[in-house]
Amino acid sequence: MVVTWNSRDDIGPALAALAPELRTGDELIVVDNGSTDGTADAVAAASEGGAAGSSGGEGTVTRLIRNPGNDGFVVAVNQGAREAAGELLVLLNPDAHVRPGWRDGIEHPWHEHPEWGAWQALITSDDGATINSDGNVLHYTGICWAGRAGRAIGLAPESPHEVGYASGACLAVPLDLWREIGGFPERLFMYGDDVDLSLGVRLLGHRVGIEPRARVEHEYEFDKGPAKWRYLERSRGAFLVRNFPTRLLIALAPALAATELAILLAAARGGWLGQKLRADWDLLRWLPALLRERRAIQGGRRITPGEFADHLSSDLDSDFLGGAATSPVVRRLVRAYWRAVRALLRSAGRSGGSGSR
């Protein structure tokens, strides 16, 4: 499934790359969010001309949903997923081009790793020369980033393995599990949805991984306007509230408070303080609903807080976070704090049993 919004220049090549990979019985759903540049017409033309069909053509279902406006990426994904009739839901960005062998690769975990509930392809850039994401990273403060983005492709993994969370650029999840989780939280509009889904999958006792045999080229640029900071920050707060177990949140409270202060200072220096404050106001307005959702999510949790914490990173080692975050002093402090939190969770688990909150 692909969601588009003013994506005319990207969607044609993306569908052309996807066409040879699809098989008889596969279903391609494109949800267009009120594009004004002719994107939906381009999708319709590609479908009629065979660019969105399978290599054989017969039996592949191509469905175009035209929305009158843009209510958000996550709303459109949920809309498309409700229309899906298959067993495995695969989300693909409109500017992501699948590589030969992608179709077989993305399906492998479904058969080979039944314990996996969500997984991503290996995301590349620069015509396959560099990594865009080889498994995304989630720090215990909720800060997240694409794993080893910009590094040489030779550093990419060769075998399937677990990751912190799966990239939404190419994200696969069994449709039944997607519906059990409830899809993406629609108030997010965009960004952070892949984190929230991955955490929801893990809370239900499933694993999250990467399948390197499936490759997708994605020419991604981080800078998409100042409003992106608002979306990122409110999504970070939302998935912390919804998904982090209570005992873990209590232990992390000092670190989360320090992180908020650091981000406010960084926003002031970077010129996006207004966006950060708008994000905080959004979260305050959402809080009653987020707490209701939290009660339902945590009530169905099948893992301990310690097991949840196993997949959070102790290091702020992204190249995009700046020197302060990766300084030796900061690194030692955040690692020491995390060791103390993990020790506290282990102690609580021994005293409270597997059902400890």
What pLDDT is attached to residue 323?
Answer: 64
Torsions phi, psi of 32, nearest 5?
-100, 125
Give the Cα separation of 55 and 25 in Å (integer): 12
The beta strand positions in the chain, using DSSP E, are 2-4, 27-33, 61-67, 88-92, 96-98, 116-125, 130-133, 137-138, 144-145, 161-162, 170-174, 207-218
Q: How far apart are CA 50 and CA 52, in angstroms?
A: 5
Instruction: Identify the pLDDT of residue 111.
Output: 94
The token pair at 119 is 């997984």
Tell me the per-residue pLDDT of 285-295, one tens digit each, with 9 for 90 and over.
Answer: 999 999 999 99
Q: What whole-number distance in Å separates Cα of residue 80 and Cα of residue 75?
A: 9
Question: At a CB cut-off of 8 Å and minimum separation 6, what does 330 contact?
Answer: 316, 324
Record the tokens describing residue 147, joined without a space.
């794993």
Query: Which amino acid is present at 140?
Result: Y
The number of C-alpha atoms within 13 Å of 194 and in the hemisphere containing its C-beta is 27
Residue 329: the pLDDT is 86
The C-alpha atoms of residue 121 and residue 91 are separated, in whole angstroms, by 11
Question: Structural domains in the chain?
Answer: 2-218 (3.90.550.10), 231-352 (no CATH)
Q: What is the pLDDT of residue 52?
A: 47
Handedness of CA 276, 321, 246, 341 (dihedral sign): negative
Half-sphere exposure for 330 (CA within 13 Å, toward CB): 14
Buried b (16+ CB within 10 A) or exposed e, 220-252: beeeeeeeebbbbbbbbbbbbbbbbbebbeebb
In angstroms, the CA 98 to CA 271 distance is 36
State the pLDDT at residue 226. Answer: 80
Give residue 58's pLDDT. Answer: 47
What's residue 73's pLDDT? 95
What was the pLDDT predicted at 324?
A: 63
Per-residue b/e over 35-57, b at no fewer than 16 CB within 10 Å?
A: beeebbebbbebbeeebbbbeee
Q: Digits of tens for pLDDT over the chain (357 positions)?
A: 999 999 999 999 999 999 999 999 899 999 999 999 999 999 998 877 655 443 334 446 689 999 999 999 999 999 999 999 999 999 999 999 999 999 999 999 999 999 999 999 999 999 999 999 999 999 999 999 999 999 999 999 999 999 999 999 999 999 999 999 999 999 999 999 999 999 999 999 999 999 999 999 997 776 667 899 999 999 999 999 999 999 999 999 999 999 999 999 999 999 999 999 999 999 999 999 999 999 999 999 999 999 999 999 999 887 667 666 668 888 899 999 999 999 999 988 776 654 556
Contacts 24+ apart (CB under 8 A), 264-268: 266/322, 267/229
